[in-house]
Amino acid sequence: MGRPPCCDNGGAGVKKGPWTPEEDIVLVSYIQQHGPGNWRSVPEHTGLMRCSKSCRLRWTNYLRPGIKRGNFTPHEEGIIIHLQALLGNKWAAIASYLPQRTDNDIKNYWNTHLKKKVKRLQQQTTHPADHSFQQQTTTAPNAASATTSSNYYNPISSSNLEATTQAMAYRDTTPGSEVTTIGTVSKLFQTWMAKAPPPAVAQDYKAMVTMQEFQQDQEARPAGFVITGDITSHGEADQSAAATFSLLENWLLDDMAPGQAAMDGLMDMSASCCAGPIMF
DNA sequence: AAGTGGTACAACCGCGAACGG
DNA sequence: GCCGTTCGCGGTTGTACCACT
Which of the residue ranges A3-7, A54-58, A91-95, A201-205 would you say has the lowest mean pLDDT? A201-205
Query: Which percentage of chain A shows pLDDT scores above 90?
Result: 0
Q: What is the pTM of this model?
A: 0.64
- Do A38 and A110 sit in the same domain of this protein? no
Amino acid of residue A210 = T
- Which element (helix H / strand E) includes A268? helix A260-278
**For residue A89, pLDDT beyond 50:** yes
Which of the residue ranges A65-79, A103-117, A177-191, A254-268 would you say has the lowest mean pLDDT? A254-268
* CA to C1' distance (Å), from A239 to C12: 40
- What is the mean pLDDT of the segment spanning A81-100? 86
Amino acid of residue A86 = L
Measured distance CA(A140)–CA(A145) in Å, rounded: 9
Measured distance CA(A40)–CA(A34) in Å, rounded: 13
Measured distance CA(A139)–CA(A147) in Å, rounded: 11
Q: Given CA atoms A248, A254, A259, A265 in this order, what sign does their dihedral have? A: negative
Amino acid of residue A131 = H
* In-domain check, residue A181: yes
Structural domain containing residue A55: 21-63
Classify residue A12 by burial, with Cβ atoms within 10 Å: 0-12, 13-18, 19+.
exposed
**For residue A263, pLDDT beyond 80:** no
Give pLDDT, residue A100.
Answer: 85
- What is the mean pLDDT of the segment spanning A239-262? 50
**For residue A82, pLDDT beyond 50:** yes
Our count of domains for chain A comes to: 3
Average per-residue pLDDT for chain A: 61
Measured distance CA(A275)–CA(A277) in Å, rounded: 6
Give pLDDT, residue A97.
Answer: 87
User: Would you place residue A69 in the very low, low, confident or very high pLDDT band (cuts 50, 70, 90)?
Assistant: confident
- Do A52 and A130 sit in the same domain of this protein? no
Give pLDDT, residue A45.
Answer: 85
Closest-approach nucleotide to residue A3, Cα vs C1': C4
Q: Which residues contact A41 (CB under 8 A, 6 or more apart)?
A: A52
Q: Which bases along strand C come within 7 Å of a protein CB atom?
A: 3-12, 15
pLDDT digits (tens, 9 = 90+) for A170-185: 555 554 444 444 455 5
**For residue A88, pLDDT beyond 70:** yes
Comparing every residue's Cα with the C1' atom of nucleotide C13, the nearest one is A17
Phi, psi of A89 (to 5 degrees): -85, 50
**For residue A113, pLDDT beyond 70:** yes
**For residue A109, pLDDT beyond 60:** yes
Give pLDDT, residue A44.
Answer: 83
- What is the mean pLDDT of the segment spanning A215-237? 38
Give pLDDT, residue A31.
Answer: 86
Give pLDDT, residue A193.
Answer: 55
Q: What CATH number is given to the structural domain containing A48?
A: 1.10.10
* In-domain check, residue A5: no
- Do A55 and A89 sit in the same domain of this protein? no
* In-domain check, residue A232: yes
- What is the mean pLDDT of the segment spanning A98-110? 87
Closest-approach nucleotide to residue A60, Cα vs C1': C8
Q: Quick one: DSSP state of residue A205? A: G
Q: What is the dihedral of CA A186, A57, A276, A190, to 10 degrees?
A: 10
- Do A161 and A194 sit in the same domain of this protein? yes
Give pLDDT, residue A199.
Answer: 36
Which of the residue ranges A32-36, A113-117, A236-240 would you say has the lowest mean pLDDT? A236-240
- Do A56 and A78 sit in the same domain of this protein? no
Which A residues between 75 and 94 have a beta carbon under 7 A from any strand C atom? 89-93
CB distance A89 to A78 below 8 Å: no
Footprint of strand B on the protein (CB under 7 A): A 3, 8-9, 15-19, 50, 53-54, 57-58, 61-62, 69-70, 104-105, 107-109, 111-113
**Alpha carbon distances (Å) from A105 to A3, A61, A213, A235:** 29, 8, 24, 30
Highest mean pLDDT among A23-37, A153-167, A195-209: A23-37
Cβ count near A57 (within 10 Å): 17
Q: Of A206, A249, A215, which is closest to residue A233 (Cα–Cα)?
A: A215
Measured distance CA(A105)–CA(A61) in Å, rounded: 8
- Do A159 and A242 sit in the same domain of this protein? no
Q: Which of A11, A34, A63 is the last residue of a domain?
A: A63
